[in-house]
Amino acid sequence: MATTARKPRRTPSKAAAAKRKLIYTFSEGNATMRALLGGKGAGLAEMTNAGLPVPPGFTITTEACNAYYEAGKQLPDGLWDDVVGHMKGVEKETGKGFGNPENPLLVSVRSGAAFSMPGMMDTVLNLGLNPETVQGLIRLTGNERFAWDAWRRFVAMFGRIVLDLKAEDFDEPFDELKKHAKAKLDTDLTAEQLREIGEQFAQIVKKKTGEEFPTDPYRQLELAVRAVFDSWFGKRAHDYREFNKIPHDLGTAVNIVTMVFGNMGEDSGTGVAFTRDPNTGEKVLYGEYLTNAQGEDVVAGVRTPAKISQMRDEMPEVYAQFEEIAQRLERHYRDMQDLEFTIEGGKLYMLQTRSGKRTAPAAVKIAVDMAGEKLITRDEAIQRVDPAQIVQLLLPRFDEAAKATVGDRLLGKGLNASPGAAVGQAVFDPDRAVAAKEADNPVILVRIETSPDDVHGMLAAKGVLTARGGATSHAAVVARSMGLPCVAGAESLKIDYAKREMRAGSVTVKEGDVISIDGTTGEIFAGELSTIEARFEDEHDLATLLGWADKVRRLQVWANADYPRDAERARAFGAQGIGLCRTEHMFFEEDRLPTVRRMILNAHAATAAKHKDAKERSADERESVKVFDSALAELEKLQADDFAGLFRAMDGLPVVIRLIDPPLHEFLPSHEELIADVTRLRTTLELAGDGSLGVDAGLVQQGLVKLFGTKDAARAMRKIGLSKPEPGLSVQAFDRAALERELAEKEELLHAVEAMREQNPMLGLRGVRLGLMVPDIVKMQGRAILAGAARVAAEGKTPLPEIMIPLVGHVNELRETRDILEAEVARIVETSGQQVTYRFGTMIEVPRGALTADEIAEHAGFFSFGTNDLTQMAFGYSRDDAEGKFLMQYVDRKILPENPFQVLDVAGIGQLVRIAVEKGRATKPDLKIGICGEHGGDPQSIAFCHEVGLNYVSCSPFRVPVARLAAAQAALSTTETRDK
């Protein structure tokens, strides 16, 4: 390189900025210029260059909009002259004159950003009209009615959109006139009536703004262009960008388009159409049109439009031409298009084309069909569908036809927190939801909000409805993870737990009344709405698309499943293994809980006793050991059955079973609850005395009410058999002994809970630590796993158990646990006489574990990232506290870009993952590594897992198809970047 000093490069001067091209005629632009011309402008340019009939016009660039803001809302230097110059060009092309009464040119002024965006300025049509040009229009067309219709529309539109008047300012007098004239529709009004109303509108503008309605066409144009620019920072547009994370410096373009008139008579019209059905994806022209109408009329519902197919009969030639253009545009853009058109005196004009929005089923069908038609490649088809949308295809949904007839049964609307439709009896309590399920009644669990205490009720429910909380509230997060429809934060509902009812306006829903909730839309209905069950086997297009995805992806997709029925479902969805079975869920089952508690209450004592020589143990110690061992033996049998079921369902595929993870006291009643119980029992006993002289029930009741309130007092009174206290002494039955026994039991539980209580259970005695302190529990689990596997092997199937040890932070924890387990497990395999292969592996979920993964890998047959705990511990957040207290605010205030429990934090947690992968594979190059945290089902996080070279992601069964597609997209996007 030469070393001569160069002059510092000057930043572009004002003059240079002014020289930048700020206006493009439609023939100068093209589809790739979206950022500069906005979506609408780029589309008009592309259509013009393709030779389609587009009225002449031009686009003022988004850069001009940004320059306008930089200059403090001043049109950039030279822009106006440039606009005028381009208007001359349009005059020449059309042979008309802007403001020329002989042959007036009229235009529309349309905003258009790179992304279509609600909140931007509405389009102004018929700009350039004034009392003189209206006369010209009448002379030229000989259609007085049309001219006055155009005029009154223009004055109202300009008044509302550019001059900020209210729609009612014009709508009210207009309706008044219609009523007066006994006209049902706009089209019933006469030319004279329309002229009058136009005149009246101009007066309204004068009255409201204090100025004459602007009649100079160029003045009109300037005001309209400025209004478009101003709308970019209007509140609605600003909020929309905030919400959708669209940058504020993109700016909007302004399109100026020669007017064509759909309101010139019955051989004119206007319409909107999609090149395929946006609901089903079917390959048919889909849309609506209106004859003798202009612009917004179709959407605004002034008259009911006709189906586009009707145009085939009414205007066969135009229809044929439009159909041909629609197909051409679809082929050209290689995507389904959403089109706007106008017919003026039998001649067709195209006014807009853009990729059409579509439902999930349509997205899948269109992608698969287009690949079949060779319009796009299979790889493109894979990339066309948003993985998140797929979930919708797998959930039952309401029949739209049924929805259309509900009328006032719509109770309200909340957040569409977890998609799908659910119907059931409203139940306001989780225990009663479980009871109802057992009685085979489908229920919707309705809560003000949910917490971990409600999960059993959620599991029993068909859907969840809450009055409070957002898209990341407990209800929403848990429901999504369970594939359960959920409507959250329906704040208009007044839920009353005590009365077991909720009120929605004037309607009261009692517990047991049937309601329907739509988690896809957030709607809540009284009564039952019929649903259509989604059947994966019947989703042929989805199966085709996922089949293509499977060929492309490198990541395997496994599922998290605790029960055989979940495993079966996961397998049907294409899961290639079980990445996480949480054994403790099996402990929580009601009929097992007493056994589990016996085991826990004796765990520590028995373990200590077992360190002593059997002869030296005290009677108490011997009893502890006996009870503990017998409880374990019972659990071992049950768990062996559980595991056998899983192995059967996953015949030939790996099943990762995690050994017990939570702290033991999670299986016991809460400390607070026990304290309350013990206090109540003690006080009751004290107040009641020994009952030998009779009990003054009235006094007892008074005492209890004072201490515990009416409700709890009533409960205590029932317990001692004094539910109907009569004044004076009573010698009613009073079973003091029973009460004392209960107290003793509760006190024992309380002591145990107190002994096990931890300041910070999340960081306490759990996971591998617990296994090392009470090895018998994990030994039992190890034996049960292998016994279950041996049994299934004996049936001729191929179980592939993988035993996973949670929460390892130091290599010695893993080594020692492994030593303990290996001997146990080997013994079972040997005595079974079956050939069973198994592995030991570990979760990487403690930051230190990730950092020392090279050491840990020495003793691990596989790694699985538990990214929930890894996120908790590396951020120093406890998830339950964080999500309830500050995390959502963090996301709102952009302190964090995303909830890190939903989308893996690549910058931080991602580094730990990367380090662990590198170090682990440095020790064992072919170490199998997966992820089993909730992130395994999130497309963005899956892309990261692909990039760092994991072998698989594991997610909830319902997300398996989502993950298959996301994994393929990740594979395709990395090849793309590599090829570039």
Q: In residues, how long is the chain?
A: 980
Which of Mg ion, ligand ADP, none lies near 869, with the C-beta cut-off 5 to 8 A by kind?
A: Mg ion
Q: Closest separation between CB of residue 258 and ligand ADP, Å?
A: 6
Give the one entry of ligand ADP, Mg ion, none that residue 813 binds, where binding means its C-beta sits below a cut-off of 5 to 8 angstroms depending on kind. Answer: none
> Parallel, antiparallel, or unpaired: how do β-strands 729-730 and 800-805 relate?
unpaired
Instruction: Print burial letters for 575-600: b (CB count within 10 Å at least 16), e (below 16).
Output: bbbbbbbbbbebbbeeebeebbbbbb
CA dihedral 533, 536, 542, 544 (to 10 degrees): -150
Closest CA to 557 of 932, 845, 973: 932
Q: Where are the alpha helices (DSSP H) in 439-530?
A: 455-460, 474-482
- 541 contact, one of Mg ion, ligand ADP, none, CB 5-8 Å limit per kind: none
Q: What does 110 bind: ligand ADP, Mg ion, none (CB cut-off 5 to 8 Å by kind)? A: ligand ADP
- Token readout for 282 is 């079917």
Select from 860, 861, 839, 842 the least CA-distant residue to 789. Answer: 839
What SS3 state is found at 420?
Answer: coil
Q: Rounded to whole angstroms, what are the CA distances from 106 to 97, 131, 514, 654, 728?
A: 9, 13, 58, 71, 98
Q: Which is nearer to ligand ADP, 121 or 364 (CB)?
A: 121
Interacting partner of 866 out of ligand ADP, Mg ion, none (Cβ under 5 to 8 A depending on kind): Mg ion
Taking the complex as a whole, how short is the minimal distance between the CB of residue 257 and ligand ADP, in angstroms?
A: 4
Contacts to ligand ADP from residues 385-404, by CB under 6 A: none
Among the listed residues 59, 61, 123, 292, the single contact to ligand ADP using CB under 6 A:
123
Active site residue 945: no
Q: Which range, of 198-206, 251-259, 887-895, 972-980, touches ligand ADP by CB under 6 A?
A: 251-259
**Partner interacting with residue 568 (select from ligand ADP, Mg ion, none; CB below 5-8 Å by kind):** none
**Least Å from the CB of residue 267 to ligand ADP:** 16
Among Mg ion, ligand ADP, none, what does residue 379 contact (CB within 5–8 Å per kind)? none
Which residue is catalytic, options 456, 474, 604, 935?
474
Question: How many whole angstroms separate alpha carbon 921 and alpha carbon 35?
Answer: 44
For 520, residues 6+ apart whose C-beta sits below 8 A from its C-beta are 392, 395, 397, 416, 419, 420, 421, 485
- 46 counts as binding ligand ADP under rule CB under 6 A: no
User: Which residue, 68, 54, 78, is CA-closest to 252?
Assistant: 68
Distances in whole angstroms, Cα of residue 254 to Cα of each of 70, 161, 959: 17, 14, 43
- Rounded to a whole number of angstroms, the minimum distance from the CB of residue 297 to ligand ADP is 8
257 in contact with ligand ADP (CB under 6 A): yes
Between residues 117 and 376, which has the closer beta carbon with respect to ligand ADP?
117
C-alpha 545/C-alpha 378 separation (Å) is 8
Binding mask 343-382 for ligand ADP (x = CB under 6 A): --------xx------------------------------
314 binds, options Mg ion, ligand ADP, none, Cβ within 5 to 8 A by partner type: none
| Residue listed under structure tokens 């023939």 | 27
Q: Which stretch binds ligand ADP (CB under 6 A): 253-261, 638-646, 738-746, 822-830?
A: 253-261
Contact by Cβ (8 Å): 324, 13: no
Of the pair 125, 793, the CB lying nearest ligand ADP is at 125
Q: Could you tell me the two tokens for 61?
A: 């660039």
Shortest Å, Cβ 296 to ligand ADP? 5
To ligand ADP, the closest distance from the beta carbon of 184 in angstroms equals: 23
Distance of alpha carbon 270 from alpha carbon 349, whole angstroms: 9
Q: Which of 230, 340, 539, 566 binds ligand ADP (CB under 6 A)?
A: 340
Complex with Mg ion: residue 217 or 579, whichever CB lies closer: 579
Tokens of residue 832, six digits: 């079974």
Does 149 bind ligand ADP (CB under 6 A)? Our answer is no
Q: Can residue 29 be called a binding residue for ligand ADP (CB under 6 A)?
A: no
Burial label for 611, CB within 10 Å (0-12, 13-18, 19+), is exposed
Report if residue 260 touches ligand ADP, rule: CB under 6 A.
yes
* Pair type for strands 286-291 and 269-274: antiparallel
Residues 6+ apart with CB under 8 A from 788: 639, 640, 641, 642, 643, 644, 645, 646, 647, 799, 801
Residues near 450 by beta carbon (within 8 Å), at least 6 away in sequence: 458, 464, 466, 469, 473, 474, 475, 478
Q: For residue 561, what are the contacts with CB-CB under 8 A and spacing of at least 6?
A: 567, 569, 570, 575, 578, 580, 581, 646, 957
Instruction: Name which of Mg ion, ligand ADP, none residue 260 binds, using a CB cut-off of 5 to 8 Å depending on partner kind.
Output: ligand ADP
* Smallest gap from residue 212 Cβ to Mg ion (A): 31
Of 297 and 845, CB closest to Mg ion = 845
Residue 864 Cβ, how far from ligand ADP at the closest point, in Å?
Answer: 49
User: Distance between CA atoms of 766 and 846, rounded to whole angstroms?
Assistant: 12
**Rounded least distance, CB 149 to ligand ADP, Å:** 13
Angstrom distance (rounded) from CA 101 to CA 135: 7
Per CB under 6 A, does 337 bind ligand ADP? no
Judged by CB under 6 A, the number of residues near ligand ADP is 16
Among 196, 267, 296, 747, binds ligand ADP (CB under 6 A): 296
Whole-number Å distance between alpha carbons of 566 and 556: 18
Minimal distance, residue 864 CB to Mg ion, in Å: 10
Cβ nearer to ligand ADP, comparing 121 with 803: 121
Q: What x/- string results for residues 98 through 117 when contact with ligand ADP is judged by CB under 6 A?
A: ----------x-x-------
C-alpha 418/C-alpha 95 separation (Å) is 57
932 tagged catalytic:
yes
- Name which of 353 and 418 has its Cβ closer to ligand ADP: 353
Question: Residues in the site for Mg ion, rule: CB under 5 A?
Answer: 340, 352, 845, 866, 869
Choose the one of ligand ADP, Mg ion, none that binds residue 296, judging by a C-beta under 5 to 8 angstroms depending on kind: ligand ADP
193 touching ligand ADP, by CB under 6 A: no
With respect to ligand ADP, which residue has the nearer C-beta, 295 or 361?
295
Q: Supply the minimum distance, in Å, between the C-beta of residue 510 and ligand ADP.
A: 45
Q: How far is the CB of 330 from ligand ADP (least distance, A)?
A: 19
Given the structure tokens 């008009």, which residue do they identify? 44
Query: H or E stretch including 195?
Result: helix 191-209
Which is nearer to ligand ADP, 271 or 841 (by Cβ)? 271
- Give the residue with the Cβ less far from Mg ion, 829 or 843: 843
Q: Taking contact as CB under 6 A, which single stretch among the options 223-231, 254-262, 378-386, 656-664 is the one that binds ligand ADP?
A: 254-262
Using the minimum distance from each CB to ligand ADP, give the nearer residue, 351 or 517: 351
Which does residue 257 bind out of Mg ion, ligand ADP, none, counting CB within 5 to 8 angstroms by kind? ligand ADP
108 or 472: CB nearest ligand ADP: 108
What gap in Å lies between CA 759 and CA 818, rounded to an integer? 29
Radius of gyration of the chain (CA): 36
For ligand ADP, the binding residue among 76, 217, 295, 420 (CB under 6 A) is 295
Q: How far is the CB of 116 from ligand ADP (least distance, A)?
A: 7
Rounded Cα distance between 232 and 229, Å, is: 6
Which residues neighbour 381 within 8 Å (Cβ) at sequence distance 6 or greater?
367, 368, 370, 371, 545, 548
The single residue of 65, 581, 932, 945 carrying the catalytic annotation is 932
User: Roughly how many angstroms between the first and final C-alpha of the chain, as a whole number?
Assistant: 27
As annotated, the active-site residues are 474, 932
Using CB under 6 A as the criterion, which residues of the chain lie in contact with ligand ADP when the complex forms? 55, 108, 110, 123, 125, 257-260, 270, 295-296, 340, 342, 351-352
